[in-house]
Amino acid sequence: MLQVSIGIFRVEAGGIVALADLTTIASRCAITGGATWLDIFVLCPGIHLQQRAADLANQGELPPTAAMTTGYVFRTENQAMVGFLQRTGQAGHLSDAHVTMAKHEGRQNPFSAMSTIGVLSSLLYLTAVFLTITTIIIMAALFREWWTVGILLILCLARAMNTIVIRQRMAAAWKGAPEPDVYGDLIILLSQDRWVRLRGLVDDLKAVTSGQWLQDMTPMQSFIAAAATLLVYGTAALSSNASVFGNIVLMGLLFTETALLALSNQLANGLLLHDRVVRIEGEPRKYKRRLEMTKELINETGRDDWAVGLGMILPSEAKGVVSKETGVFMTKGDPIGKAVLL
């Protein structure tokens, strides 16, 4: 057993750091579209906030969206998707995003998650996993710091409980009727004048834009999440029993892994959601006026009913006319008429 002398320097209750209300873990949950089993070994302050990932992901924004292939106007409801677009969008720019099926299917396959977010981001994440496992082994085998080891294992248990709940909540919900082999092209208007064009198969687009990302917690899931929160608070009380060296190691581990995970989140360049991968392709295109972008997209798609529905052009500027009796936009050349309620 090795002994470490700290002198007169004292640190007590280092576990209280775990109670800091940081959203790093919740942000990671939104970036990867859920949770993987490796998350158990990533210890950061804010473990007790993971179930609030859906609320934190999009900051309450549900941006208006139009299907430029059909003219229908709706809102993007999926919080994780909106959060990803907020992070990648730029004011006054149009970003091009594409949705494809993930290479490794299965509910939050860790290999699929890591291949989605990028190599450097994955390496930083795996470094945090390695640090936790290594620290537990060294503190137990060399230093016999059992209180510190126990606290780390309790935090891992709290992470495991939250991971189980997140994986249950992320089960695919309502996504509308299937439309196989149909291509879709969406324009999404985010706040702060950020615009995103999202393309892919319609079924893939529905999977990442419609419905609820994380389902509401059941009573049992709420109980598990509450128990995990109490475990985190319990570590703050137990850490006073650990040695000064043990508390320093605990605090250092939490600080280091927070930095690693935050940097990994910042470098992530994709979103994995319901077995689909969303990526930004190419550089965002800058426009002096939104109308300039609108006219360019109208010329490309050959229709403008979606632009009227989003309020990007006036009905009088469109190719169709507005019925005075019904207030419905009628596309010229279409005997049935395209319904866009104004």
69-126 per-position pLDDT tens digit: 999 999 999 999 999 999 999 999 999 999 999 875 555 566 666 777 888 999 999 9
Domain membership flag for residue 285? no
For the ranges 156-165, 201-210, 277-286, 318-327, the lowest mean pLDDT is seen at: 318-327
Output the pLDDT for position 113. Answer: 67
pLDDT in tens, 37-56: 999 999 999 999 999 999 88
Q: 227 and 127 in one domain?
A: yes
Mean pLDDT, residues 223-249 taken together: 94
Q: 316 and 216 in one domain?
A: no
What number of other Cβ atoms are within 10 A of residue 336's Cβ? 7
Could you tell me which residues come within 8 angstroms of residue 255 by beta carbon, excluding any fewer than 6 positions away?
17
At 108, is the secondary structure helix, strand, or coil? coil
Q: 297 and 224 in one domain?
A: no
Domain membership flag for residue 326? yes
Phi, psi of 242 (to 5 degrees): -75, 160
pLDDT in tens, 241-264: 999 999 999 999 999 999 999 999
Q: 300 and 188 in one domain?
A: no
Nearest CA to 79 out of 182, 12, 187, 169 is that of 169
Mean pLDDT, residues 2-15 taken together: 62
At 271, is the secondary structure helix, strand, or coil? strand
Q: 86 and 115 in one domain?
A: yes
Domain membership flag for residue 123? yes
Query: What share of the chain in percent tops pLDDT 90?
Result: 72
Domain membership flag for residue 337? no
pLDDT of 326 over the 70 cut: no
Mean pLDDT, residues 160-178 taken together: 88
pLDDT in tens, 146-161: 999 999 999 999 999 9
Domain membership flag for residue 286? no
Output the pLDDT for position 317. Answer: 83
* Cα(160)–Cα(91) distance, integer angstroms: 38
Q: 110 and 23 in one domain?
A: yes
CA 45 to mean position of chain CA atoms:
18
Strand extents, DSSP E, the chain: 64-67, 73-75, 93-101, 183-190, 194-201, 270-273, 276-280, 285-286, 321-322, 329-330
Domain membership flag for residue 35? yes
For the ranges 3-12, 188-197, 324-333, the lowest mean pLDDT is seen at: 324-333
* Cα(245)–Cα(12) distance, integer angstroms: 10
Q: What is the mean pLDDT of the chain?
A: 88
Model confidence at 333, pLDDT cuts 50, 70, 90, reads: very low
pLDDT of 304 over the 60 cut: yes
Query: What share of the chain in percent tops pLDDT 70?
Result: 86
Q: 298 and 229 in one domain?
A: no
Q: 155 and 205 in one domain?
A: yes
pLDDT of 334 over the 60 cut: no
HSE (side-chain half, CA atoms, 13 Å) at 228: 25
pLDDT of 164 over the 70 cut: yes
Geometric angle at alpha carbon 338, from 303 and 340, rounded to 5°: 95
Output the pLDDT for position 70. Answer: 94
Q: 298 and 267 in one domain?
A: no
At 299, is the secondary structure helix, strand, or coil? helix
The domain containing residue 318 runs over which residues? Answer: 291-330
Output the pLDDT for position 342. Answer: 36
pLDDT of 321 over the 50 cut: no
At 272, is the secondary structure helix, strand, or coil? strand
Domain membership flag for residue 165? yes
Q: 52 and 32 in one domain?
A: yes
Q: How many domains does the chain have?
A: 2
For the ranges 4-18, 93-107, 228-242, 287-301, the lowest mean pLDDT is seen at: 4-18
Q: Enter the pTM of the model.
A: 0.86
pLDDT of 332 over the 60 cut: no
What is the DSSP pairing of strand 93-101 with strand 194-201?
parallel
Model confidence at 174, pLDDT cuts 50, 70, 90, reads: confident
Output the pLDDT for position 316. Answer: 82
Model confidence at 134, pLDDT cuts 50, 70, 90, reads: very high
Mean pLDDT, residues 313-337 taken together: 57
Output the pLDDT for position 177. Answer: 85
DSSP letters spanning 30-86: HHHTS--GGGGG---TTGGGGGGHHHHHSTT---EEEETTT--EEE---HHHHHHHH
| Placement of tokens 């295109």 in the chain | 285
Q: 227 and 192 in one domain?
A: yes
Domain membership flag for residue 25? yes
Q: 253 and 120 in one domain?
A: yes
Record the tokens describing residue 179, joined without a space: 């439309």
